[in-house]
């Protein structure tokens, strides 16, 4: 497959692609086989007519149009990989020349946004704020209480229920006077104040005693996952069978020995403090690395056309919509829950889209400036997890990726990670408070930024 890349204004390119004749013929044959399944031809069972007869019956042009419809996405992807560009947004594709008969190539062109170029500033030895890894006593005690809660005992009490008590209940719900699936349960444990039931349900059981029956009225949320119940009023007949008080163990050495491998409470607290410190340090290091990247971005210049930012914002939103759809929530339900339109979410995502593009541009420029190379050993190591998932070896997976041109994406990903390591490794950590104080200091440069003469990167993780 031949490709020619031409630069256009506003960080866009035009790519001319020639699809070899053998690939076109393969696409036509595949399309003909698909059409054969929908045709009745004398002497052949359904779907068994040879592709050549289908082409003869329908005409080459008609079958070619079906082949283009089916195969153009694949040809576009291959042309994209072959061109070596880093696309942003969706392409505008146009067929330039189509074959008139078997054995001729096809050409098409597409225009698309590409990652902008960055003019680098300083990116080594930058002073960057880093949080202290010392965990607060409050965090340690909160973890101790969490462990303590796990060893709590529930003891029946002859009194009215209050927040923190656990009720043993039977319930049956009705919507529009009819029972519904999942609306009936026996011997359910419910902790008052936990917020695990529909809003208002637990509050209406506060003050109940064992053996008491109550009627609980609630309204299902508009975004309730059972769509047939969403937004509807329900009435539950609830029998409180028992009120149980949560009794926590004493915080002493005996508790520590039962709850852990340590013999004393001080040893347990020390272990928790160590583990929390490690977690805090890991988070601080992640934040430090992101801040170092943003400092390098802050020192660079990246021109970003509005159309490019809008395209990346669209990509981000589409990816988010796929994620929530995978979790069982429709994008429409999410918008309703947020009380926003899709256009409003797109506008809100623009700062993050701008931040992403600038980071990518700067990291790519640093990888180029530092001539960061990637060895086969690094590629194989990076592919180990994917290879295991696909039940093959990293070596075989790398070979397959090279055959279809996808190895470049893996190589670029490793280059970017090495560029991040370089920036963060050379950065000089300073107290977070000092870094934050610097941000509040007025400078002539900041006034220019506020007026739009210079850009500032957005906040957040990469």
Q: What is the pLDDT of residues 44-89, one digit of tens each?
A: 766 677 888 888 888 999 999 999 999 999 999 999 999 989 999 9
Last residue of a domain, one of 247, 279, 294: 247
> Are 30 and 110 in the same domain?
yes
Q: Give the pTM.
A: 0.70
Token pair for residue 98?
């189509």
Reported as a single tens digit per residue, the pLDDT across 144-191 is 999 998 898 999 999 999 999 999 999 999 999 999 988 999 999 999
* pLDDT tens by residue, 395-418: 999 999 998 888 888 999 999 999
Rounded Cα gap, residues 461 and 219, in angstroms: 37
Q: What is the mean pLDDT of residues 5-26?
A: 94
Q: In terms of residue numbers, what domain contains 39?
A: 2-114
Q: Examine the domain organization and report whether 10 and 110 are in the same domain.
A: yes
Per the structure, how many domains does the chain have? 2
Residue 58 placed within a domain = yes
Say if residue 102 is in the same domain as residue 198: no
CA 415 to mean position of chain CA atoms: 22
Question: Which tokens belong to 220?
Answer: 């299902």
Q: How confident is the model at residue 306 (pLDDT cuts 50, 70, 90)?
A: very high
- Same domain as 158, residue 238: yes
**Are 186 and 108 in a shared domain?**
no
362 class by beta-carbon count within 10 Å (0-12 exposed, 13-18 middle, 19+ buried)? buried
278 in any annotated domain: no
Four-residue CA torsion sign, 182, 184, 189, 190: positive
CA distance 28 to 102: 9
Kindly provide the residue ranges of all beta strands, DSSP E only, lying in 318-431, ordered along the sequence: 428-431
- Confirm whether 315 is domain-assigned: no
- Evaluate whether residue 175 is within a structural domain: yes
Considering 184, 218, 247, which residue would you say is the last residue of a domain? 247
User: Are 157 and 106 in a shared domain?
Assistant: no
| C-alpha to C-alpha distance for 241 and 330, rounded to whole angstroms | 39
CATH number of the domain to which 65 belongs = 3.30.70.1050
Residue 134 burial by CB count (10 A; 0-12/13-18/19+): exposed, middle or buried?
exposed
Mean pLDDT, rounded, of the chain: 89
Strand 127-130 and strand 428-431: the pairing is parallel
Tokens 């988070």 correspond to 283
Q: Are residues 110 and 193 in the same domain?
A: no
Instruction: Report if residue 6 sits inside a domain.
Output: yes
Instruction: Tell which residue, 24, 23, 27, 19, has the closest CA to residue 2.
Output: 19
Residues 103, 42, single domain; the answer is yes
The pLDDT assigned to 460 comes to 39
Domain CATH number, residue 235 = 3.10.50.40
Of the residues 97, 114, 131, the one at which a domain ends: 114
DSSP 119-132: E----SS-EEEE--
Q: Of the given ranges (122-131, 153-162, 429-438), which has the lowest mean pLDDT?
A: 429-438
Phi, psi (degrees; rounded to nearest 5) at 214: -135, 155
* In a domain? residue 448: no
Beta strands in 260-395 (DSSP E): 301-302
């Amino acid at each position: 497959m031949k490709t020619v890349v031409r630069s256009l204004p506003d960080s866009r390119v035009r790519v001319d692609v020639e699809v070899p004749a053998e690939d076109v013929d393969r696409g036509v044959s595949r399309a003909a086989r698909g059409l054969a399944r929908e045709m009745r031809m004398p002497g052949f069972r359904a779907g068994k007519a040879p592709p050549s007869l289908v082409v003869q019956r329908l005409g080459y042009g008609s079958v070619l149009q079906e082949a283009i419809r089916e195969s153009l996405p694949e040809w576009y992807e291959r042309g994209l990989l072959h061109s070596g560009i880093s696309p942003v947004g969706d392409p505008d594709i146009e067929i330039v020349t189509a074959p008139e008969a078997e054995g001729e190539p096809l050409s098409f062109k597409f225009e698309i946004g590409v990652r902008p170029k960055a003019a680098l500033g300083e990116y080594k030895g930058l002073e960057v704020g880093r949080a202290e890894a010392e965990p607060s006593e409050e965090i340690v005690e909160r973890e101790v209480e969490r462990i303590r809660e796990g060893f709590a005992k529930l003891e029946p009490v002859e009194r009215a229920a209050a927040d923190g008590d656990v009720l043993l209940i039977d319930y049956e719900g009705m919507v529009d006077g009819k029972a519904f699936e999942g609306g009936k349960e026996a011997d359910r444990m419910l902790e008052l104040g936990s917020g695990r039931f529909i809003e208002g349900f637990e509050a209406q059981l506060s003050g109940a005693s064992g053996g008491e029956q109550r009627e609980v009225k609630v309204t299902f949320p508009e975004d309730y996952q059972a769509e047939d119940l969403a937004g509807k009023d329900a009435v539950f007949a609830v029998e409180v069978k028992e009120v149980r008080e949560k009794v926590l163990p004493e915080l002493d050495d005996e508790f520590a020995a039962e709850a852990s491998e340590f013999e004393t409470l001080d040893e347990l607290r020390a272990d928790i403090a160590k583990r929390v410190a490690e977690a805090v340090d890991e988070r601080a290091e992640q934040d430090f690395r992101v801040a170092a990247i943003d400092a390098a971005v802050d020192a660079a210049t990246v021109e970003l056309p509005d159309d490019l930012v809008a395209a990346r914002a669209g990509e981000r939103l589409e990816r988010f919509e796929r994620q929530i759809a995978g979790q069982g929530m429709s994008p429409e339900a999410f918008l309703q829950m947020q009380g926003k339109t899709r256009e409003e979410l797109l506008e809100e995502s623009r700062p993050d889209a701008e931040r992403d593009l600038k980071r990518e541009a700067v990291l790519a420029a640093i990888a180029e400036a530092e001539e960061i190379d990637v060895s086969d050993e690094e590629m194989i190591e990076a592919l180990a997890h994917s290879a295991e998932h696909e039940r093959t070896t990293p070596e075989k997976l790398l070979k397959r990726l090279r055959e279809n041109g996808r190895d470049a994406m893996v190589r670029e990903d490793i280059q970017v990670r090495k560029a991040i390591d370089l920036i963060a490794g050379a950065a000089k950590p300073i107290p977070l408070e000092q870094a934050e104080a610097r941000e509040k200091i007025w400078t002539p440069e900041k006034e220019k930024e506020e007026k739009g003469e210079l850009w500032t990167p957005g906040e957040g993780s990469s």
